């Protein structure tokens, strides 16, 4: 493709990089990435992917913007209170870069609809705030062989891992089942320092861009844990589990199951 004059200027700092170049920029422009959640994590992910010129960004979220979101969910703003987060995120990211086409999926992911939604994308980013969705997304990505960049945040800490089905562990390889409902606080009751999802989401965006460009060492088989108070990064090696119920040698989970049936409540 030929870049427009505006694109040459907009992406000049990418094009200069030997690891990117015009060629890599074209790859970014033709990439399709799905974001599960337009909240604390999804906000910076989508922001940086749009800035990078990722051509198609799907945003899956059925929530509406609330005042308590704005301490960390930077895709939204005070004027958009009450509007759909997916629509608000689309407005923000497309205003940053109209090369990024943002597709709104204002639905809650279920076992019934997830394949139809993420099937259109190359890479999936999990920024969800609940275990049923987290496991559903993991299982669907394993079954559909989609690269998944998964992350979670809690209080002052966050973790990230890149899941390349068939090439490394999946989420269930090391956290086989969700914790029983009621034993862990949900984000809604836990509290989180606003910048924490900003840092962790930006790490996710970095892994997405690396995956699209095929550069560097992916965070595959390594769980990265970042602690804001200690300002420490720790990487824990996590092997693929041959007994994993979804990606092991003899999987016992061969169909997607509704979150509620294995986790109690969302």
Partner 1 sequence: MGDDFKVARTLDIKGQVCPLTFVRSKLAIEKLAIGEVLEIIVDHQPAAVNVPRSMELEGQAVLGVEQTGEAEWHLFVRKDREKPKQ
Footprint of partner 1 (CB under 8 A) = 3, 8-9, 12, 15-16, 18-19, 21-23
| Minimum CB distance to partner 1 smaller for 13 or for 237 | 13
Q: For residue 246, how far is the Cα from the chain centroid?
A: 20
| Minimum CB distance to partner 1 smaller for 21 or for 251 | 21
| Rg of the chain on CA atoms, in Å | 18
Supply the DSSP symbol for 57. E
Min. distance of Cβ 21 from partner 1 in angstroms?
6
| Minimum CB distance to partner 1 smaller for 2 or for 249 | 2
**φ, ψ dihedrals at 247, nearest 5°:** -115, 10
3-state secondary structure 241-256: CCCCCCCCCCCCCCCC
Min. distance of Cβ 9 from partner 1 in angstroms?
7
Parallel, antiparallel, or unpaired: how do β-strands 222-227 and 232-237 relate? antiparallel
Angle of CA points 157, 186, 220, to nearest 5°: 45
| Minimum CB distance to partner 1 smaller for 9 or for 190 | 9
Min. distance of Cβ 96 from partner 1 in angstroms?
21
Helix (H) or strand (E) holding 101: strand 101-105
Min. distance of Cβ 90 from partner 1 in angstroms?
29
Tokens of 15: 């094009």
| Minimum CB distance to partner 1 smaller for 21 or for 264 | 21
Tokens of 105: 């999926």
Min. distance of Cβ 210 from partner 1 in angstroms?
13
């Amino acid at each position: 493709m030929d870049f427009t004059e505006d694109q040459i200027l907009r992406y000049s700092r990418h094009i200069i990089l030997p690891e990117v170049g015009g060629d890599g920029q074209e790859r970014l422009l033709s990439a399709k990435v799905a974001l599960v959640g337009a909240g604390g994590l999804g906000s910076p992910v989508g922001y940086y992917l749009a800035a990078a010129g990722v051509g198609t960004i799907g945003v899956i979220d059925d929530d509406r913007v609330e005042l308590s979101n704005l301490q960390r969910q930077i895709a939204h703003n005070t004027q958009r209170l009450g509007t759909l987060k997916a629509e608000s995120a689309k407005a923000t990211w497309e205003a940053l870069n109209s090369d990024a086409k943002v597709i709104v999926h204002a639905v809650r992911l279920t076992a019934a609809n997830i394949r139809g939604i993420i099937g259109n994308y190359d890479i999936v980013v999990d920024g969800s705030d609940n275990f049923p969705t987290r496991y559903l997304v993991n299982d669907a990505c394993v079954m559909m062989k989609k690269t998944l960049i998964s992350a979670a945040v809690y209080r002052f800490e966050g973790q990230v891992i890149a899941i390349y089905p068939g090439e490394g562990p999946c989420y269930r390889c090391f956290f086989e089942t969700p914790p029983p409902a009621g034993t862990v606080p949900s984000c809604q009751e836990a509290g989180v320092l606003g910048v924490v999802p900003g840092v962790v989401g930006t790490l996710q965006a970095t892994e997405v861009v690396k995956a699209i460009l095929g550069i560097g060492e992916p965070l595959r088989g390594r769980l990265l844990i970042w602690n804001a108070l200690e300002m420490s990064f720790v990487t824990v090696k996590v092997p693929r589990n041959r007994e994993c119920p979804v990606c092991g040698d003899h999987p016992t989970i061969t169909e997607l199951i509704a979150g509620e049936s294995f986790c109690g409540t969302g």
